[in-house]
Amino acid sequence: MKCEQIEIGAIADVHMLRAIHEGLKRVSTPEELRQIYQRTN
């Protein structure tokens, strides 16, 4: 499966930003954060 790369600076959706902010508290790697992003996208 191809993972779409996105710059966090390009995200304007408030809900997505909140999910990323919460995710940063819980993950250890960028890949784990991507998995959270993909579930909320």
Tell me, yes or no, whether 3 lies in a domain: no
Confidence of residue 6 (pLDDT cuts 50, 70, 90): low
pLDDT for 9-25, tens place per residue? 666 778 877 877 888 88
Tell me, yes or no, whether 23 lies in a domain: yes
Tell me, yes or no, whether 20 lies in a domain: yes
**In this structure, which amino acid lies at residue 15?**
H
Tell me, yes or no, whether 35 lies in a domain: yes
Q: Per-residue pLDDT for 8 more than 50?
A: yes
Tell me, yes or no, whether 2 lies in a domain: no
Give the burial class of 20: count Cβ atoms within 10 A of its Cβ; 0-12 exposed, 13-18 middle, 19 or more buried: middle
Structurally, the chain folds into a number of domains equal to 1
Confidence of residue 4 (pLDDT cuts 50, 70, 90): low
Tell me, yes or no, whether 1 lies in a domain: no
| pTM of the predicted model as reported, rounded to 2 decimal places | 0.49
Mean pLDDT for the chain?
74
- State which residues form the domain around 25: 8-40
